[in-house]
Amino acid sequence: MNILLLNAHSPQNAGDLAILQQSLVCLRAAYPGAAITVAINDADRQGLPPDAAYVDSLTRWLVHLGPAGEWHWRKPLAPPYGVWLLLVVLLYRLAGWRWLPRQAERGRLMRAYYDADLVAVIGGGHLYARHAFNIAFLWLWLGLALALALGKPLVLLPQSFGPLPGRLQRGLLRWLLDQSAFVAAREYRSLSFLAEIGLRRRALVLPDLAFAMSPVTSTAPAAIERALSDAGRPLIGLTLMDWGGQNPGFRNQRGYEAAVLVLIEHLQCRYDAAIVLFAQCYGPVPAHDDRRIACRIAAACGRTVTVIDAALAPVELQAAYSRLDLLVATRMHSAIFALSAGVPALAIGYLHKSAGIMEMLGLERYVLDIDTIDAERLCAVADRLWDERAAVRARIATRIPAMRATLEKLPELLPQIP
């Protein structure tokens, strides 16, 4: 059996990498012996699971890398490429011809489409847009619709859906999901969104695949352990992100960073806490590199904080987070890693996926929206979490194993797909 796995992004993002690892575990359990090809956006192949083949994704056809490594969408190429893909589909469906591009890597991708017995969409939060007629969403949709057009069954592993403005984009998503063989939402907010756009087929709600990671069984690297060895003081971690750098429409980056600076001072003064800033993501583009904002915050706060700027694997980050008393998490998967290790987390949500996942755990009291965050509310919620941390630990001690048990059933469901 041949499986093509779409929408993998980058091993430089620990959350993406954890989802990829667990997606492969799930597919291999469901389809033993299958040959799996992963279409991935990032050209960096370091740290990827070795039990799959990797090929550049369809996104790479439209993305141009700038001199500083930034991505630029070459929008004028979308129409001719779209027409070419339409011709590919017609030739394949009507005559059985397999038309391949001249470029070797693109040929490998198209061959993986042709050969696939099943096309799966990696779990994650890809199917959203900030404005109507968004090129990133539309091109991603085209890559998924291509599988359906070629007659391949399409399986969507646990996803977040939305926000998605515009009747066109909503209609395209509704059609795509109605034609898919299996659809799973990873939180109830996404399920509500699917009902809002008029989805007719059944969708399941399943936890984010990163919750399937094994409980912490190892220690963090020695250098990280030394950095976390401030004995006798509360140890509080933060993950930060340059959401404004990733989304030009976001207008509260300064307010967010100012609130974080006040929080650090508050935690140090009130609890004598040792503060550790983690880089959950360090690429593939400069705006995604959390080390930059961590260093910027550390330089601006005027107090002693520790910056962990090493590129750590998901299991290493999970082991490091397990040493904390509390994590303030802007990167959603850093919250998942910490909660999976039994550590209370406060989530600063940049899309509804963060709030939705915290709600599934009954932790909606510990979520703030990055669009409206301010120092007063951030400190107040951090204080509440600190005061209630024992109850939170007790809650996640029962909910996390239940989520893992639910995800263990997923490989049993997939082979039943018609």
Of the listed ranges 2-6, 58-62, 123-127, 330-334, the one predicted with least confidence? 123-127
Mean pLDDT of the chain: 94
Range ranked top by mean pLDDT from 40-49, 53-62, 227-236:
53-62
At 295, which CATH number? 3.40.50.2000
Question: How high is the pLDDT of residue 349?
Answer: 93
Number of domains in the chain: 2
Helix then strand then coil, % of the chain, to nearest 5 = 50, 20, 35
126 and 202 both lie in a single domain:
yes
Q: Read off the pLDDT of residues 133-159 as tens digits, 9 standing for 90 and up.
A: 999 999 999 999 999 999 999 999 999
Question: How high is the pLDDT of residue 225?
Answer: 79
* Backbone phi, psi, residue 367, to 5°: -130, 140
Torsion on CA atoms 211, 359, 366, 326, rounded to nearest 10: -10
43 falls within a domain:
yes
133 and 277 both lie in a single domain:
no
List Cα–Cα distances, 24 to 49, 103, 234, 371, 390, in angstroms. Answer: 8, 27, 37, 34, 35
243 and 266 both lie in a single domain:
yes
Question: How high is the pLDDT of residue 200?
Answer: 93
- pLDDT, mean of residues 222-239: 83
251 and 201 both lie in a single domain:
no
Question: How high is the pLDDT of residue 218?
Answer: 67
Question: How high is the pLDDT of residue 66?
Answer: 78
195 and 276 both lie in a single domain:
no
207 and 226 both lie in a single domain:
no
129 and 9 both lie in a single domain:
yes
Structure tokens at 230: 């401030």
pLDDT at residue 100 greater than cutoff 70: yes
Strand partners, 367: 347
State the maximum Cα–Cα separation within the chain, in Å, rounded to a whole number: 72
Residue with tokens 């696939």: 116
CB 318 within 8 A of CB 327: no
Q: Specify the DSSP element, H or E, that contains 81.
A: helix 78-95
pTM listed for this prediction = 0.94
Give the three-class secondary structure for 69.
coil
74 and 158 both lie in a single domain:
yes
State how far the Cα of 50 lies from the Cα of 48, in Å rounded to an integer. Answer: 6
Question: How high is the pLDDT of residue 217?
Answer: 66
List Cα–Cα distances, 69 to 43, 66, 284, 287, 289, in angstroms. Answer: 11, 5, 8, 10, 11
Question: How high is the pLDDT of residue 25?
Answer: 96
408 and 373 both lie in a single domain:
no
State how far the Cα of 85 lies from the Cα of 92, in Å rounded to an integer. Answer: 10
Structure tokens at 184: 């799973």
Structure tokens at 333: 């998967």
Helices (H) and strands (E) in the chain, counts: 17, 16
Q: Read off the pLDDT of residues 162-206 as tens digits, 9 standing for 90 and up.
A: 999 999 999 999 999 999 999 999 999 999 999 999 999 999 999
Structure tokens at 128: 């959203």
CB 330 within 8 A of CB 288: no
Question: How high is the pLDDT of residue 224?
Answer: 79
State how far the Cα of 358 lies from the Cα of 187, in Å rounded to an integer. Answer: 9
The boundaries of the domain holding residue 323 are 222-387
Q: Would you call the peptide bond into 153 cis, given omega within 30 degrees of 0 as the criterion? A: no
35 and 138 both lie in a single domain:
yes
150 and 43 both lie in a single domain:
yes
Torsion on CA atoms 116, 417, 160, 3, rounded to nearest 10: -20
HSE of 177, CA atoms in CB hemisphere, 13 A: 29
Question: How high is the pLDDT of residue 231?
Answer: 62
Residue with tokens 């029962």: 398
State how far the Cα of 255 lies from the Cα of 352, in Å rounded to an integer. Answer: 19
Amino acid at 357: I
At 46, which CATH number? 3.40.50.11930
